[in-house]
Chains A and B, each alone.
Chain A
Amino acid sequence: MIKMVKIFIDDKQLEVEEGLTILQAAEQAGIDIPHLCYHPAFPPEGSCRLCLVEIEGIPELELSCSTKVREGMKIQTKSQKVIEARQGVLEFLLAEHPLDCPFCDKAGECKLQDYYEEYGLFDSQFDEYKEKRDKKVKIGKNLILDRERCILCTRCVRFLREVTKTQELGVFKRGIKSEIGIYNGFPVNNNYSGNLAEICPVGAITDLDFRFKTRSWFLEKGNSICPLCSRGCNIQIEYHPGLGRFALPQRVYRVKARQNMKVNSFWICDKGRYGYSYLDKNRTSKLVRPNINQKQDINWDEVLDYLTAKLKSLYFMNKTSQVALVLNSWLSNEELFLARKIFNEDLKVTNIFFADLPDEEGDGFLLTSERSPNKRGAKEIGWAYVPFTLEALAENEINCLLIFGSFFEQLLNPAQLKSALGSIETKILLSSHRPELESAFDLILPTAVIAEKEGSLTNTEGLVQGFSPALPPWGESRAEWKILIELAKRLDINFAFYRRLSSPELIYQEMAEEIPFFRKEK
């Protein structure tokens, strides 16, 4: 039984859980109290002094980040006294802060800018010499520290002490000479270093990967789930929507963490943060028949008709044993479910394999050893995980090979693979990325990446998470679930069933009806 208390914030009556701080209670009520050193991941620090509020009955202002609510407490967050104190703190912060906004990467998402705009807008009275400090201290493989911008909130130090427990950063010297730094020879090179640039409220710690590349206000943001391991960390992808005719050097500029207390808390690992090049690089964008000199572009209808014809003829001749299907664990729950229903149940295809990136070592925190996001989903949907090997191809007389994803290339010897493919009549690849052995395939269908489609994934702990498109589609690529539904309708083995599954949501509901595991909350 959680005890509730009645409090007043800015004369607004609220009922909040006992044990919350004033700052947390205000946040719940949609009242923002400015703060810099406080971060929900750590106990209150109380050093920035920006979050001071007025409590009736107490002569001095109190910190809202660390003062717990009590029954009947009356708090003012915008009284004259509070605003004056807030401006006083802001003035102190800005006094020793360099006017770097024009070239600081944090501009547009800087707390100091935001608070000055909202509560400051006063002229500087500082007529002295600012402390001169180092502005380009490399503290980690991806991090640069600008000591002039640092406001000594110590979020970075506390992160490394409490979350990664690696303590690479410390505070040296005293008073106005205080500075953050590493111990020579021990830079911040752990797998969570990128979080430091995110939690730094100003542009003191910045990401080398983002340095001087663009401005935060040019970027659109989309929510997705990181597919690089099976943790399913919630991410935010930031991309440039483009400047019309002008080509940009990159589409996706940055990946940030999204808070999810059930999965990744406030963090993502560096693998996920910096491993976004797959979203833009080496993508398939058009339907391609590699070995035919195309005079005209082929379209999806033609391709689907061709595929349907191929599969249907084998089906009617009872020769679907000659079909081999290679799936992967980047496919969504819905796609893996459809694949089972269409190929396994309807077409009675038996040679179904999985080709995924090989396992690597996990890091004991967020990064798991599985390098794909949905192995658990595949398991729950009922797939027996049979790894794709050339021996398996050779054992069974395969004359039609359908491969989803380009991961198979990581597992097999290219020369052997090329020759194995050579002896198969029909080879079709559905992938988001161009394979090395492009010419070995008859037909390549461009598919979307998880960030560009809708669906759900099941993480290593069995948590099912839905996702929707964070990025616009690449070229002509399509989500695999769309392709499968179209294919299923054309195969006409069970048309009515597939016709009503017009969205991943509906597919999921059907899946939940058949498989109890998916009946829980997403």
Chain B
Amino acid sequence: MNEKVLTQHFDLKNLFQIEVYLKEAGYQAVQKALKQLKPAQILEEVKKANLRGRGGAGFPAGVKWGFVLQAVDKPKYLCVNADEGEPGTFKDRYIMSHNPHLLLEGIIITSYCVGIHTAFIYIRGEYEAIALRLEQAISEAYQHGYLGKNILKSGFDLDVYVHRGAGAYICGEETALLESLEGKRGHPRLKPPFPASVGLFNSPTVINNVETLSNVPYIILKGAEWFCQLGLPKDGGTRIFAVSGLVKKPGIYELPLGTNLKDIIFKHAGGMRNGHKLKAVIPGGMSAPILKADEIDIPMDFDSLMSAGSMLGSGAIIVIDEETSMLDVLKVVTKFYSHESCGQCTPCRVGNSWINKIVTRIAAGKGKKKDLDNIIRLASNIKGNTLCPLGDAAAMPVLSIAQKFREELELYIQS
């Protein structure tokens, strides 16, 4: 039976209220961390746990923290990436609305470990109700002494603030998030320098996803070894897979890393809706290259999906059936990226809009023979040549759809 970690208490009524949370042994991880462990010990444990980022990039959290821990001469910041803009992804929404105190515990322990005294939760603007819930939880935490000055008499101070975004997918990219938090347009920055040395307000900054941080309290309580054996040798823990699209039971499913994609769709999410046949699956949020029906017998982990030419990304699984036109899918995909491009760099700004214009023209019945070759060529010119990963995120699904479903797309052009 799969052990549930993050979602284990989600069915509890009013879990988001601190009284209920405390009753379920809440804030014990913070107690243990601040009273019994040194920051270096916490870092070691998180590194040993092989906790990789759950926002999309999969960077080892412990390694990231290590860079920032070394910096000594400036105030440090923690930015919680709660922007959750990757289409198909809604797992962080569940964590924040059902168990905000779990996230807060993760924030407190992380900040204590790295030496951070101010944390901002950058939450997407649309999640207004969630932001209010978070603010309420934060207020409760202050009242109970888990935030503010001299937490649990440990001498450690921490302030946490909620900072709402205002509708820009690009602000989920870490440097665009920093720009937005600093009060500017969400234009990604050139790297190097990396946020670990020059981040928020020029200071060393840790940026972690909501799900990533929410695992930290359990790692502290139950240890790195336990966390590792839940998952795979290089990827510790569970993942919350957000399943949507044409399945019977869309929703979140917390499962071990390495769970088979086919099983997730057919065993857990109830299989296909309306008895239709499966046509394709996007396995890691819309930016992940698409998998055909004969490619879904695959473990959901970073390496397996990478070898298959796709990626684990945000772990959002979008299921497409035989009744769906891949041209429509391509249209929705290209519309998204051309709308969300920040406009800073040439290939993404012009390329995404151009590809979207071609696809729209094909959908209007005016396709030309060279269109698909051009789409592939243009997407290839975007990939690898942009200032930030949004260019790749846009190019990869377009390339995979245009290449794997070429025959079907050509039908739209001929007719």
Contacts and interface: CB of A to CB of B under 8 A. Distances in A.
A in complex with B: yes
B85 to A, nearest CB: 14
Contacts of B347: 49, 88-89, 92
A46 B342 CA distance: 14
Interface stretch (A172-180, A438-446, A498-506): A172-180
B340 interface: yes
Nearest to A96: B350
Contact of A175 (B340, B357, B358): B340
A95 interface: yes
Contacts of B385: 49, 52, 61, 85, 88-89
Contacts of A176: 338, 341, 343, 349-350, 352-353
A48 B190 contact: no
A127 B386 CA distance: 23
Given A52-B385, A171-B185, A176-B338, A125 B374 contact: yes
B346 A174 contact: no
A93 B387 contact: no
A121 to B, nearest CB: 17
A47 B341 contact: no
A84 B378 CA distance: 11
A201 B168 CA distance: 30
A92 B357 contact: no
Interface string B180-208: 00000100001000000000000000000
A92 B346 contact: yes
Contacts of B361: 127-128
A85 B344 CA distance: 17
B38 interface: no
Contacts of B261: none
Interface in B322-380: 338-347, 349-354, 357-358, 361, 368, 370, 374, 380
B353 A174 contact: no
A60 interface: yes
Interface in A86-107: 88-89, 91-93, 95-96
B172 to A, nearest CB: 15
Given A46-B345, A152-B343, A174-B168, A92 B351 contact: yes
A246 interface: no
B381 A174 contact: no
B349 A175 contact: yes
Interface residues of A, number: 35
Contacts of A173: 343
Contacts of B145: none
A93 B346 contact: yes
Contacts of B358: 127-128
Q: Which of B342, B347, B370, B386 has the most CB of A within 10 A?
A: B347
A85 B341 contact: no
B381 A92 contact: yes
Given A125-B370, A125-B374, A177-B343, A85 B190 contact: no
Nearest to B186: A174
A152 B357 contact: no
B90 to A, nearest CB: 24
A175 B386 contact: no
B270 interface: no
B353 A47 contact: no
A129 interface: yes
A278 interface: no
A173 B353 CA distance: 14
B265 to A, nearest CB: 34
A75 to B, nearest CB: 17
Given A92-B350, A93-B346, A174-B168, A129 B341 contact: no
Contact of B349 (A52, A66, A178): A178
Nearest to A93: B346
B233 interface: no
Q: Taking each of B185, B338, B343, B350, which has the highest tally of chain A beta carbons within 10 Å of its own beta carbon?
A: B350
B190 A152 contact: no
A127 B368 CA distance: 10
B384 A60 contact: yes
Contacts of A92: 346-347, 349-351, 354, 381
A473 interface: no
A64 to B, nearest CB: 13
Interface in B137-175: 168
Interface string A170-213: 01011111100000000000000000000000000000000000
A174 B343 contact: yes
Contacts of B344: 47, 152
A47 B387 contact: yes
B346 A175 contact: no
A447 B386 CA distance: 58
Contacts of B374: 125
Interface in B202-259: none
Interface string A35-55: 000000000101111101000
Interface in A137-179: 151-152, 171, 173-178
A274 interface: no
Nearest to B348: A175
Contacts of B357: 128-129
Nearest to B344: A47
- Most chain A CB within 10 A, of B361, B380, B384, is at B384
A119 interface: no
B345 A49 contact: yes
Contacts of A126: 354
A274 B367 CA distance: 52
Given A92-B381, A176-B352, 8 more contacts: A49-B387, A66-B190, A89-B346, A131-B353, A175-B339, A175-B342, A175-B352, A176-B338
| 7 closest residue pairs by CB, A with B | A88-B381, A178-B343, A176-B353, A128-B357, A92-B350, A175-B341, A46-B190
28 contacts: A44-B190, A46-B190, A47-B346, A49-B345, A49-B347, A50-B346, A61-B384, A61-B385, A66-B190, A89-B346, A91-B381, A92-B354, A92-B381, A95-B350, A96-B353, A125-B374, A127-B358, A128-B358, A131-B353, A152-B346, A152-B349, A171-B343, A174-B342, A175-B343, A175-B353, A176-B352, A178-B343, A178-B349
